[in-house]
Structure 1
Amino acid sequence: MILLANSEAWPGFDKTVELLKNNSHGIDAMIAGISEVEREVKVRSVGYGGWPNMLGKMEFDAGVMDGTTRDVGAVGAVPDTLPVAALAREVMQRLPHVMLTGEGARRFATEIGFSVDDTLYEDSRKVWWKRLQKELSAAELSAFPDIPLAPLSRTITDPERVRDTTVFLAQDSASGIHAVTSTSGWAWKYPGRLGDSPIPGAGFYADSRYGAAACTHTGEMTMRCGTARSIVLAVRFGHTLRAAVDMAIEDLAELKTGFLAGVVIHAIDAAGNHEVASFQCPEDIKYWIWEPGMANPQKRIARKYDPLLTT
Structure 2
Amino acid sequence: MQCDFTVGYGGSPDTSGETTLDAMIMDGKDQAMGAVAYLRSVKNAIRVARSVMEHSSHSILAGEGALEFAKMMGFQQESLSTPYSTKLYHEWQSNHCQPNYFRNVVDQSTSCPPYKPISRDQQSSDSQVSQLWIDHGNHDTIGMVALNSLGQLAGGTSSNGANHKIKGRVGDAPIPGAGAYVDNTKGGAAATGDGDIMMRFLPSYRAVQDMGQGICPQKACENALKEIAKKYPSFKGGMVCLNTKGEYGGAGYGWNFSYSVMTMGMQKALVVKVPPLQMSVN
TM-score w.r.t. structure 1 length?
0.76
Query: After superposition, what is the alpha-carbon deviation per residue over 1:42-85, rounded to whole angstroms, capped at 9, x for unaligned?
Result: 62111123211011011110000001121010110011011000
Corresponding residue number in structure 2 for 1:9: none
Which secondary structure state, in structure 2, belongs to the residue aligned with residue 77 of structure 1? strand
Runs of 4+ in 1 over 4 A off after TM superposition: 153-160
Partner of 1:221: 197
Verify the 8 A CA contact 1:55 1:145 in the aligned structure 2.
no
5+ residue gaps, structure 2: 98-106, 119-128
Name the CA distance, whole Å, in 2 between partners of 1:280 and 1:296.
Answer: 28
Which residue number in structure 2 is paired with residue 147 of structure 1?
Answer: 114
Match of 1:299 among 268, 271, 275: 271
Alignment partner of 1:90 out of 47, 51, 54:
51
CA shift for structure 1 position 146: 7.2
Partner of 2:92: 131
Name the CA shift for 1:105/1:212 in 2 (closer, same or farther; >3 Å): same
Say if 1:158 and 1:187, in contact at 8 Å, map to a contact too: no
**Equivalent position of 2:242 in the other structure:** 268
Percent of aligned pairs sharing the same letter: 26
In structure 2, what is the Cα distance between the partners aligned to 1:155 and 1:299? 27
Tell me the SS of whatever aligns to 2:211.
helix
Shift of 1:199: 0.2
* Structure 1 residues 239 and 149: CA distance shift in structure 2, 3 A: farther
1:145 offset after TM fit, Å?
Answer: 8.5
Larger helix proportion of the pair: 1
Asked whether the 8 Å contact 1:158–1:188 carries over to 2, the reply is no
The answer (yes or no) to whether the contact 2:6–2:137 under 8 Å persists in 1 is no
Relative to 1, partners in 2 of residues 1:128 and 1:160: Cα closer, same or farther, differing over 3 Å?
Answer: farther
Question: 1:244 aligns to what?
Answer: 220
CA separation in 1, counterparts of 2:216 and 2:57? 35
CA positional deviation for 1:242: 2.3
Q: Is the 8 A contact 2:12 2:138 kept in 1?
A: no
Give the structure 2 partner of residue 27 of structure 1.
none
Aligned to 2:138: 162
Aligned twin of 2:101: none
Amino acid at match of 2:76: S
User: 3-state DSSP class of the match of 1:180?
Assistant: strand
Distance 1:150 1:289, change over 3 A: farther
Normalised by the length of structure 2, the TM-score is 0.84
State the alpha-carbon separation in 1 of the partners of residues 136 and 190 from structure 2.
Answer: 22
1:163–1:185 Cα contact (<8 Å) kept: yes
What is the deviation of 1:300? 2.0
- Matches of 1:278 and 1:190, distance apart in 2: 26
Structure 1 gaps of 5+ residues are: 1-36
Q: Answer yes or no: is 1:122 the counterpart of 2:96.
A: no
Report the 3-state secondary structure (helix = DSSP H, G, I; strand = E; otherwise coil) of the residue aligned with 1:307. Answer: coil
Indicate the residue corresponding to 2:167 in structure 1. 191
AA aligned opposite 1:147: P
